[in-house]
Amino acid sequence: MNISNRIIVTPLGAGQDVGRSCILITIGNRNIMLDCGMHMGYQDERKFPDFSYITSDGNITDIIDCVIISHFHLDHCGALSYLTEHLGYHGPIYMTHPTKAIAPILLEDMRKHLVEYEEEAKYFTSSAIRDCMKKVTAVNLHEVVTVKEDIELKAYYAGHVLGAAMFYIKVGNDSVVYTGDFSMTPDRHLGAAWIDKCRPTLLITESTYATTIRDSKRCRERDFLKNVHECIDRGGKVLIPIFALGRAQELCILIDTYWDRMGLKVPVYFAAGLTEKANSYYKMFITWTNQKVRQTFVHRNMFDFKHIKPFDKTYMHNPGPMVVFATPGMLHAGLSLNIFKKWAPDEKNMLIVPGYCVSGTVGNKVLSGSKKIEAEPNKFIDVKMSVEYLSFSAHADGKGIIQLIKNCEPQNVLLVHGEEEKMKFLRAKIMQEFNINCYMPANGETVEIETANIHTFNMSTKLVKEILDDQSNNLGNGKRLVHGAFLLKNGSSNLNAMSVKDTFKELDIQRHTLRFTCTVEIKESSTIQKTKTKLYNMLENNLPIFKNKLTMSDGSISLASILVTVEDSMDNNKKKIVISWANEDEPLGNHVLEMLQNMSKSD
Amino acid sequence: MKVYCLSEDPNKPCFVIKLKSVTIMLDCGLSAHSVLNFLPLYPIPDWKPNKAAAWIPKNFSDPQIEGELNECMTNQVLVNSAPEFMTPLTKLVDFADIDVILVSNYMTMLALPFITENTGFKGVVYMTEPTLHIGKLFLEELVDFVEQSPKPNVAKYWKEILHLLPPPLCNSFKPHTWKQLYSLAQVNSSLTRVQMISYDQKIEITGALTVTAVSSGYCLGSSNWVIYLESKKLVYVSNTSTLTTHPRPMDQVNLKNADLMLLSSLTQAPAANPDSMLGELCLSVAVTLRNNGSVLIPCYPSGVVYDLFECLSSHLDSTALGQIPMYFISPVAHSSLEYSNILAEWLSQSKQNKVYFPEEPFPHAQLVKSGRLKHFKHVYTDDLWNDLRQPCVVFCGHPSLRFGDVVHFVEYWGTNPQNTIIFTEPEFPYLEALAPFQPLSMKAMHCPIDTSMNFTQANKMIKDLKPAVLILPECYAIPPAGFGHKNEFVIDQVDRKVLTIKRGEVISEKLDIKTVNVPFTTEMVVSVTLNELQSGLKASKFTAVLDTKDNKYKLDILRDDLLANKTTEPYLLETLFKKTYEWGQLDIDRFLRALTNEGVSDPKIEHNTHGYTIHLKSEDTLIQVDDKSTHIFCEKMDKNWRLKLRSIVMECLNSF
Ligand SMILES: [Zn+2]
């Protein structure tokens, strides 16, 4: 159908990369920005998505119809206040309620770090964050939100962190599902991502762990606790750099219950003073956690920790074993980096990194085995403490991504938020297993996907009735031959079907009837009436398909648009047969004419 | 479509609609009016005053009636038995046929176990998350109330001799159909059939229709419903509030321009303004407390009670009574308070915004923390009596005063004239509710608070929403007794078709469906090329195959094997499958030029009133042309000539 459309996708960030997620999509005439993240691995302009791609030709609010934020991680929402307060975007922004509640806290946390280390962070003020969040509309799971009349949004549960959502976006007949970050396995406080068979034109999925088949969560939890326990047993200090919200709550539940069970007395601290506040959010958004936490919340709040106490900066110099959770999670700044600098040279100590560290961060360098870290210009730190990477960040693995594709049945897949090599591997796998296209554009690279996505049309009940009443179109087995017309009004996504007659009426176009009339003389001496009956019988026998379209009245025989009349001829032994038909029945009309001509010849 | 009415009380609605092949139940309210005819159940059995004496009809003796009836001090006769409820009518619709039940709010689902358990019900129940959580609390509380003071006997015989009984008992509506309450096991089994939904979520039902819940502003998670069947829109309006209280505001937009609207559950206190009632309540609470009396407020475990906590506490603060404790006693009090603070998405904007700080959305969370509001499971727990400090305000159920902890408090505080009982739930006539406890010294106040729309608001809403057809409970079309002809207590019946319905009735209403939504195959989509024939309008003819098996339609291209089945005659195939439709006017100059090119040299043209007549003498052909038609009279028996002429004409016309 030539009302086919295109979906255009351009990653401004997270194209063959992890960090500063920001994907621009165009469906129909609508431009939508998916996430607006910040890259924690860079200090320069690469920190932000490449907004110049959009702003070079005009006002950003005129170009972008809406912005969707998948979850509160800074690599997904970190540049939002820059977009609204610096670049002046003032169109609609959507995110879930928990994201709207928690994102400003992480933004504020990041702002403090940036202001400490960077000159150019002047635009980045607390009031800018507040003003930005005022522009946000919060959505509920599964609620269908209509934006600017023709964009439909629907959020699905994504697991990953509290409030994380996958978004289904539909414009006209085309649709996109954007996963943000998601996890397909439930954990200690969150459930698994879920989506129905919504059959999007395109699925844009993260692919952080594209090639990993992940071992069971229980094993990782056991390893984590074993590592922690061994370290404190030898008198060491354990540093766990972490985001204040999200994985932190899961690990706190884990440590708290373990300390309880083992009767441990070694102090556990949570830095940043955020804990109590953070836990309030978890409590009030308990409906976003998993079944078990939800069912018990009235009697026991899972987020009231018995063994975890607030941390004070001075504690890092205390002797003896301890466990400290500190922000930020990638050791790129702030308290966790300070503690690391202090504890790294002692081999008794241990660093457990429970999440992904983007390249460029100290966390990333340590994890890739660097034993000397340049924490400040020309100041190197020897890393003697043991370093463990425990992947607790809840992303789907390859198997989970394949499962998601099976669940929602997309027509195309596009990978973002991953590393090029791993993406290539997953891409091949998807194309092979599902026989669909799979794309993996780099930042700034545009993918265009042709679509032909009208799946249904509205058929007039009048036409349906005409079809069912007319036996001559019965092809057997419930199948009916239909002649009709499609009509599409500009700007409407509803294709209508009706009879040709009604279509002309709707189009306000005058139909032009083309008719043929021919005369044949046949040898026939009986009355006009008898001749008519004879002809009628002949037509009935020869054209059984049209049996119920054949009628005989006083004046004539009619079959569809064909009219046959009998008149007396000058010659008493002959009759004049006048046959007339409309152009739409030309082959049949001509056939009947030939039948009559044969009669006249054979006489 | 058909609409069945299964409930006699429009505030405990239960309708069934049949649309196409789908059967939908709208709400399943439980009418508890019948329980007023029963003796109260005392939560503390040894604390049971003896105010009611055995009663039998005059000049009547039948041992079967003994022990069934008691007369209280107001001469009202009450049944000594486990209480019975009025459930939705069972005879009109087989519950096993129901595909889905749509539950609007937690107040209209209390008959759910009667519908889903042991009836062969196989369907799905849709409701919002708050409706499920809070509805569960209501059901559990009700079961707890009735089961904590079990009555060994079930009185039945009195139903046989209704005509011998005094009013109001003799006016009981079909007491044979009354039922005892369900069990907790039945409640739990019933709730396993629930599927939670969001507002504005589109739910497909058996592929035939789409259902959406929209906010009704009445209570946490309360909904109205929009049902789409093809191009037709039906809306069901249940408890709806246009006032600003704690729930998310009502969504009017989605209810607009429906083909049919079914309206139920308007206010039960049409003459009382909720705000002024709340004001009166606060005043009389303050007066009572100042006189050293305590206040008893019979209530349900969620809903208006949250607003009462909020308004009353701030009123008491402002009148220097801030130290007075409030007690919320219910088996589900704790859960209700906890749930109210985790459902931010379903609250008014101002309450929702608090969560972002993060602060609990309701002030009662703070009242609980500071110890001003205390909650207890039961009146018979020692904790309560160790804590209870008078004067105080006690909130507890059930508002009928026939079971629950309130029964104890009415007796316990009833002898003290300084105390006050304030009725806020409009459902039960308060004097009838108090009858078995008389004589009472405690003051009784009636401040009915029902935030549902009143008739004036409903009439305005209907005017704005413009439904084509409106179906009403019969009683909304007649002014209530005692209100004369006041039309502020009826729904206007102008500007549209209005039908009324009452318990046991069925309405058939034809839905004139103009189009049906039909899917097509990918090949079919690809085969169509639309052309812009008018500005803004694209069209294309098609010849295709409509599969009509099982009344489910699908459009596919015409495949060769199907053709072969039908016929092999080429002329038939062409007639059946190749159609052209001409339009516009014949371009006469072009036509004549084309004839000349074909060697037809002698066209003779005559103008007439309609158009032209063209004689082609050498070809023995006459052509009549006007704006709308071209008629070729071809006497020459030469097929080739006729077909040549045909193609010339067609070239000079637009075709589609
Ligand atoms: Zn994330």
Segment 115-144 of chain A within 8 Å of chain B by CB: 133, 138, 140-144
The total of other beta-carbon atoms located within 10 Å of residue A444's CB is: 14
All residues of chain B having their beta carbon less than 8 Å from the beta carbon of residue A514 are: 582, 629-632, 646, 649-650, 653
Q: What is the DSSP letter of A253?
A: H
Task: Dig out the tokens for A515 from the structure.
Answer: 């008719």
Cβ distance B355 to A481 less than 8 Å, yes or no, reads no
Pairing of strands B100-102, B22-26: parallel
Contact at 8 Å (CB) between B202 and B231?
no
Task: Give the pLDDT of residue A296.
Answer: 81
Q: Which of A97, A284, A464, A502 to mutate to test the interface with B (most CBs of B within 10 A)?
A: A284
Q: Which residues contact A419 (CB under 8 A, 6 or more apart)?
A: A16, A17, A18, A210
Partner residue facing A590 (CB), from B549, B571, B577: B571
Q: What percent of chain A has pLDDT over 70?
A: 94
With residues binned 3-state (H G I as helix, E B as strand, rest as coil), the percentages for chain A, rounded to 5, are 35, 30, 35
Q: Could you tell me the pLDDT band of residue B48, with boundaries at 50, 70 and 90? A: low
Tell me the per-residue pLDDT of A65-106, one tens digit each, with 9 for 90 and over: 999 999 999 899 999 999 998 889 999 999 999 999 989 988
Per-residue pLDDT band for B275 (boundaries 50, 70, 90) equals very high
Distance from CA of B275 to the nearest CA of A (A): 30
**A515-601, superfamily in CATH?**
Alpha-D-phosphohexomutase, C-terminal domain (3.30.310.50)
pLDDT band at A264 (very low <50, low <70, confident <90, very high): very high
Which residues between 297 and 336 in chain A have a beta carbon less than 8 angstroms from any beta carbon of chain B?
Answer: 297-298
**Predicted local distance difference test score (pLDDT) of residue B530:** 86
Using one digit for the tens of pLDDT, what is the confidence trace for B554-593? 888 888 777 666 666 776 766 666 778 888 888 888 888 8
Which of B360, B571, B624, B642 should be substituted to probe chain A, the one whose Cβ sees the most A Cβ atoms within 10 Å?
Answer: B571
Chain B contact for A263 (CB, 8 A cutoff)? no
Q: Do B646 and A583 touch (CB under 8 A)?
A: yes
Report which secondary-structure segment, H or E, holds A518: strand A513-523
Write out the two tokens for B22: 């789908």
pLDDT digits (tens, 9 = 90+) for B433-463: 999 998 899 999 999 999 999 999 999 999 9
Cβ contact (<8 Å) for B653 and A514?
A: yes
Q: Which domains does chain B have, with CATH numbers?
A: 2-41+51-270+452-508 (3.60.15.10), 274-446 (3.40.50.10890), 522-575 (no CATH), 583-655 (3.30.310)
Q: Which of residues 495-514 of A touch B (CB under 8 A)?
A: 496-497, 500, 503-504, 506-514
How far is B331 from B376, CA to CA, in rounded Å? 7
The answer to whether the Cβ–Cβ distance between A143 and B200 falls below 8 Å is yes
Task: Find residue B518's DSSP bridge partners.
Answer: A457
From the candidates A300, A514, A547, which should be mutated to test the interface with B, based on the most B CB atoms within 10 A?
Answer: A514
- Check residue B605 and give its pLDDT: 87
| Pick from A151-155, A598-602, B417-421: least confident | A598-602
Picking from B195, B210, B540, B616 by the largest number of A CB atoms within 10 A of its own CB, the best residue to mutate is B540
Task: Give yes or no for a contact between B81 and B154, defined as CB atoms under 8 angstroms apart.
Answer: yes
pLDDT tops 70 at residue A453: no
C-alpha of A284 from chain center: 27
- What residues of chain A, 542 to 601, have a C-beta less than 8 Å from chain B? 543, 545, 583-588, 590-591, 594, 597
Residue B406 token pair: 């309130």
Is the Cβ pair A510, B627 closer than 8 Å? yes
Residue A85 tokens read as 């307060």
Contacts for B70-75: CB closer than 8 Å, 24+ residues apart: B70/B39, B72/B435, B72/B436, B72/B438, B73/B438, B73/B439, B74/B435, B74/B438, B75/B166
Q: How far is the CA of A159 from the centre of ligand 1 (A)?
A: 10
Choosing among 3.40.30.10, 3.40.50.10890, 3.30.43.10, 3.30.420.40, the CATH entry for A217-389 is: 3.40.50.10890
Ligand 1 ion: Cβ-proximal residues, 5 Å cutoff:
A 73, 181
Give B549: exposed, middle or buried? Use CB within 10 Å, 0-12, 13-18, 19+: exposed
Beta strand pairing call for A165-171 and A151-157? antiparallel
Write down the ipTM of this complex.
0.80
- Whether A206 sits among the annotated catalytic residues: the reply is yes
Chain B partners of A191 at a C-beta cutoff of 8 Å? none
Domain boundary assignment for chain A: 7-213+394-441, 217-389, 457-498, 515-601
Bond preceding residue B436 cis, omega within 30 of 0: no
CB B202 within 8 A of CB A144: yes
Structure tokens at B208: 């035939």
pLDDT band at A123 (very low <50, low <70, confident <90, very high): low
Residues of A in contact with B537 (CB under 8 A): 487-490, 506-507
The sign one gets for the Cα dihedral B181, B183, B188, B192 is: negative
Question: Which H or E run includes B433?
Answer: helix B430-434
Residue A210's closest CA among A428, A434, A435?
A: A428
For all residues of chain B together, what is the average pLDDT? 90
Q: Kindly list the residues from chain B whose CB atom is less than 8 angstroms away from the CB atom of residue A475.
A: 545, 562, 565-566
For the stretch B383-431, pLDDT in tens is 888 888 989 999 999 999 999 999 999 998 999 999 999 999 999 999 9
Distance from the Cα of A483 to chain B's closest Cα (Å) equals 5
DSSP A36-105: ----TT-SSGGGS--THHHHTTS-HHHH--EEE---S-HHHHTTHHIIIIIS---S-EEEEHHHHHHHHH
Alpha-carbon distance B161 to nearest alpha carbon in chain A (angstroms): 49
Beta partners for residue A144, in sequence order: A154
Q: Quick check: A284 and B360 CB within 8 A?
A: yes
> B539 and A487: CB-CB below 8 Å?
yes
Partners of B199 in the beta sheet? B213
Which of A310-319, B241-250, B481-490 comes out lowest in average pLDDT? Answer: B481-490
Which band of pLDDT confidence, cut at 50, 70 and 90, is reported for residue B486?
A: low
CB B37 within 8 A of CB B70: no
- DSSP symbols for B252-272: -GGGTT-SEEEE----S-TT-
Residues facing B19 on adjacent strands: B22
Please give the distance, rounded to the nearest whole angstrom, from the Cα atom of residue A76 to the centre of ligand 1: 7
CA neighbor of B449 nearest in space, from B310, B302, B305: B305
Q: Where are the alpha helices (H) located in B435-529, listed in sequence order?
A: 455-465, 522-527
pLDDT of residue A1: 47
CA A294 to chain centre: 27
Taking only the tens place, the pLDDT of each residue in A546-592 is 777 888 887 789 988 899 999 888 888 888 899 999 988 888 888 88
The encoded tokens of residue A438 equal: 């799979």
Q: How far apart are CA B110 and CA B93, in angstroms?
A: 19
Contact B628 A513 (CB under 8 A): yes
The better pLDDT of the pair B246, B636 is held by: B246
Question: How confident is the model over A165-218, as pLDDT tens digits?
Answer: 999 999 988 899 999 999 998 887 889 999 999 889 999 999 988 777 666 667
**B548 contacts A497? CB cut-off 8 A:** no
Q: Between the ranges B37-46, B166-175, B361-370, where is the mean pLDDT highest?
A: B361-370
Q: Chain B closest CA to A77's CA: distance in Å?
A: 17
CATH 3.40.50.2000 for domain A7-213+394-441: no
B507: left (phi over 0), alpha (psi -120 to 50) or beta: beta
Q: Which residue has the tokens 């009604």?
A: A502
Q: Is B130 exposed, middle or buried (0-12, 13-18, 19+ CB in 10 A)?
A: buried
* DSSP string computed for A541-600: HH-GGGGGGEEE-SSEEEETTEEEEEEE-SSTTEEEEEEEEEGGGHHHHHHHHHHHHHHH
- Whether the predicted pLDDT of B632 surpasses 80: yes
Tell me the angle at which helices B570-577 and A586-602 cross, rounded to the nearest 10 degrees: 150
Residue with tokens 């006729």: B642
CB contact under 8 A, B547 and A101: no
Q: Which residues of B57-80 are buried (b: 16+ CB within 10 A; e: fewer)?
A: beeeeeeebeebbbbbeeebbbbb
Spacing, Cα A392 to ligand 1 middle (Å): 12
pLDDT in the model for residue A569: 82
* 3-state SS, residue A209: strand
Task: Nearest by CB to B562, from A142, A479, A506: name it.
Answer: A479
Round the CA-based radius of gyration of chain A to a whole number and report it: 36
* pLDDT of A215: 60
CB contact under 8 A, A484 and B571: no
Tell me the C-alpha distance between A271 and A600, whole Å. 107
> Which of A338, A332, A331, A346 has the alpha carbon at shortest distance from A315?
A338
pLDDT of residue A603: 55
> Tokens representing A329?
């999670």
Q: Which of B231, B339, B517 has its CB closest to that of A456?
A: B517
Does residue A120 carry a pLDDT above 60? no
Q: Please report the pLDDT score of residue A2 as a whole number.
A: 47
Structure-block tokens of residue B646: 């045909």
**Amino acid identity for residue B113 in this structure:** P
Better-scored residue on pLDDT, B558 or B480: B558
**Alpha-carbon gap, residue A400 to A208, rounded angstroms:** 11
Active-site entry in A45, A108, A152, A206 = A206
Mean pLDDT of A17-43: 89
A277/B537 Cβ within 8 A: no
Q: Tell me the shortest Cα–Cα distance from A594 to chain B, in angstroms.
A: 9
Residues in CB range of A424: below 8 A, 6 or more apart:
A440
The pLDDT of B260-279, averaged and rounded, is 93
* B17 neighbors B515 (Cβ within 8 angstroms): no
Mean pLDDT of all residues belonging to chain A = 87
Binning pLDDT at 50, 70 and 90, where does residue A233 land? very high
Residue carrying structure tokens 């600017």: A148
The pTM (predicted TM-score) of the whole model is 0.83
Is residue B161 exposed (0-12), middle (13-18) or buried (19+ Cβ within 10 Å)? Answer: middle
Beta-strand relationship, A479-489 and B537-547: antiparallel
